């Protein structure tokens, strides 16, 4: 077995978005007030108040969800030669909702006798920033109108970290990696986020790889986007599945698909084995996959050989 001495010094940046949406008024969208996990319903309440700050019953309320374009590293909002497909956003359901309830990006209703309008927010699987726009509309049974505003929040996971380590060379970003294709995620600052457990397992694997191979470094490509969620929101790939309904203008293609679904939760990372995209430290893929499995990553369903890279993933579940 080869012995190698590799200096290790790490810099870790933590991204945390916190807060609560429920409040006495919809706040102007100047900051992201909360972060919600993709696909996990959350019940919210808007309280309508009068000019004196008192709860106002029977207010007319309409809420609409809108995505903030080009957030969370999604800079590929429109592929050349194709129309912009419908943008997935979180959806809403008024009142007490369940799995059989009807959800929509726009809902309307009236506040109750205590001034409260309760609804359920079902976050999209796309990690992104969004906002609720509150407006007053004419609706039978509602007698009061109040001006509302915008209410900003994010969809994603608050426990992901960006890890910069001298033992890892980040590749795959554009234009900061020579030879890298433009995947639409910007620089490597956007595709190298992960859970702490993912980092710890990878660092243990790298240490084992250093001792086995004598190489001090590896090249990491895809991990997760800053908030997690769908890694590819506008991939255009041919598809012939029987359950696919083409979007007009796209024919037999599938925008908003996610070939990188195992990266949604920040639980997986790809390690280069081909030496492309500016990597001078390729690994032997099968050897590295086995080391990943022995150092905290999951079995064949989560850690495997993907040809030009080793895919090392934790055994976790998430909506996808």
Q: Is the pLDDT of residue 84 over 70?
A: no
Task: Tell me which DSSP letter residue 274 carries.
Answer: S
Q: Is the pLDDT of residue 78 over 60?
A: no
Report the percent of the chain where pLDDT is more than 70.
73
What pLDDT score was predicted for residue 136? 72
In the structure encoding, which two tokens stand for residue 190, read together? Answer: 């956007």
Q: What is the pLDDT of residues 23-70, one digit of tens each?
A: 333 333 334 578 999 999 999 888 787 777 788 888 888 899 999 888
- Cα 163 from Cα 217, distance rounded (Å): 15
Give the predicted TM-score (pTM) of the model. Answer: 0.83
In the structure encoding, which two tokens stand for residue 318, read together? Answer: 């998430």
Q: Is the pLDDT of residue 20 over 50?
A: no
How much is the mean pLDDT over the chain?
80
- Cα 298 from Cα 301, distance rounded (Å): 7
What pLDDT score was predicted for residue 76? 63
Q: Per-residue confidence at 281, pLDDT binned at 50, 70, 90?
A: very high
The whole-number average pLDDT for the span 142-149 is 73
What pLDDT score was predicted for residue 28? 32
CB proximity list for 319: less than 8 A, separation 6 or greater: 38, 39, 40, 125
What pLDDT score was predicted for residue 85? 67
Residues 17-157: name the CATH superfamily.
Immunoglobulins (2.60.40.10)
Domain ranges of the chain: 17-157, 161-229+264-313
Burial class (CB in 10 A: 0-12, 13-18, 19+), 75: middle
**Torsion angle, CA of 177/183/188/190, rounded to 10 degrees?**
170
Strand 128-135 and strand 150-155: the pairing is antiparallel
């Amino acid at each position: 077995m080869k012995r190698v001495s590799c200096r290790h010094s790490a810099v870790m940046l933590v991204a945390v978005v916190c807060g609560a949406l429920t409040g006495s008024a919809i706040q102007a969208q100047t900051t992201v007030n909360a972060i919600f996990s993709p696909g996990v319903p959350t019940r919210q309440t808007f309280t309508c108040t009068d000019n004196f700050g008192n709860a106002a019953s029977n207010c007319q309320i309409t809420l609409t969800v809108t995505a903030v374009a080009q957030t969370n590293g999604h800079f590929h909002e429109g592929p050349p030669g194709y129309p912009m497909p419908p943008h997935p956003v979180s959806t809403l359901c008024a009142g007490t909702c369940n799995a059989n309830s009807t959800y929509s990006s726009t809902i309307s209703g009236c506040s109750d006798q205590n001034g409260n309008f309760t609804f359920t927010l079902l976050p999209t699987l796309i990690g992104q920033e969004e906002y609720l726009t509150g407006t007053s509309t004419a609706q039978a049974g509602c007698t009061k109108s109040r001006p509302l505003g915008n209410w900003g929040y994010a969809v994603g996971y608050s426990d992901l970290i960006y890890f910069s380590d001298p033992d890892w060379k980040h590749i795959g970003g554009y234009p900061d990696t020579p030879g890298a294709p433009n995947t639409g995620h910007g620089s490597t600052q956007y595709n190298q986020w992960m859970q702490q457990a993912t980092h710890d397992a990878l660092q243990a694997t790298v240490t084992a790889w250093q001792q086995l191979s004598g190489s001090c470094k590896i090249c990491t490509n895809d991990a997760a986007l800053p908030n997690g969620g769908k890694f590819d929101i506008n991939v255009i790939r041919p598809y012939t599945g029987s359950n696919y309904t083409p979007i007009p203008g796209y024919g037999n293609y599938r925008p908003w698909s996610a070939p990188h679904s195992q990266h949604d939760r920040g639980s997986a990372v790809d390690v280069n084995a081909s030496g492309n995209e500016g990597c001078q430290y390729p690994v032997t893929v099968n050897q590295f996959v086995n080391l990943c499995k022995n150092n905290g990553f999951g079995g064949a369903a989560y850690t495997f050989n993907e040809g030009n890279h080793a895919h090392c993933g934790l055994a976790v579940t998430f909506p996808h």
